[in-house]
């Protein structure tokens, strides 16, 4: 059964401007530990690809917060959900802390997809339960 859906679209230049304005602190504020590691590696190799990674993760968190119906309110926080990739490249969501417990209590599971093109990124999330 579908619990909720969420989508977010973002103009890449807006995120890049915010990243530069905060002198990189934006990434540390919104990315979880594993995401931050991947972001740093990608940014070092190719600035544009690093920024696209940051933007897709931002959009995925926004879409997820909409799908669970909370927005950015407890137990949801920027760093409590990470968009990681399976070996195949498929994006998956990983929850930590209070959010992980909250999702498990409800037996909710989320699927995510992200995409980027030139100056835009998009994320789409479906939250469902087995019931």
41-56: per-residue pLDDT in tens?
Answer: 999 999 999 999 999 9
Listing DSSP states for the chain in one string gives -EEEEEEEEEEHHHHHHHHHHTTTHHHHHH--HHHHHHHHHHHHH-HHHHHHHHHHHHHHHHHHHHHTT-SS-TT--GGGEEEEE-TTS-EEEEE-HHHHHHHHHHTEEEEEEEEEETTEEEEEEEEEE--
User: Do β-strands 81-85 and 2-11 pair in parallel, antiparallel, or remain unpaired?
Assistant: unpaired
Q: What is the pLDDT of residue 73?
A: 87
Please tell me the distance from the alpha carbon of residue 76 to that of residue 73, in angstroms, as a whole number: 5
Q: What is the CATH number of the domain that holds 47?
A: 3.90.470.20
Whether 68 shows a pLDDT value over 70: the answer reads: yes
Domain housing 103: 2-129
- Main-chain dihedrals φ then ψ at residue 73, nearest 5 degrees: -125, 150
Domain count, the chain: 1
pTM score, whole prediction: 0.94
Whether 130 shows a pLDDT value over 90: the answer reads: no
Digit-coded pLDDT (tens) for 71-123: 888 899 999 999 999 999 999 999 999 999 999 999 999 999 999 999 999 99
Whether 23 shows a pLDDT value over 80: the answer reads: yes
């Amino acid at each position: 059964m579908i619990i909720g859906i969420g989508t977010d679209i973002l103009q890449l230049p807006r995120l890049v401007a915010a990243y530069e304005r905060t002198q990189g602190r934006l990434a540390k504020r919104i990315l979880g530990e594993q995401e931050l590691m991947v972001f740093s590696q990608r940014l070092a190799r190719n600035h544009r690809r690093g920024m696209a990674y940051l933007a897709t993760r931002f959009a995925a968190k926004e879409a997820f917060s909409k799908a669970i119906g909370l927005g950015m309110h407890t137990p949801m926080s920027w760093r409590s959900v990470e968009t990681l990739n399976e070996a195949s490249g498929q994006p998956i969501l990983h929850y930590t802390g209070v959010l992980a417990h909250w999702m498990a209590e409800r037996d909710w599971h989320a699927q995510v997809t992200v995409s980027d093109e030139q100056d835009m990124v998009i994320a789409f999330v479906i939250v469902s339960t087995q019931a």
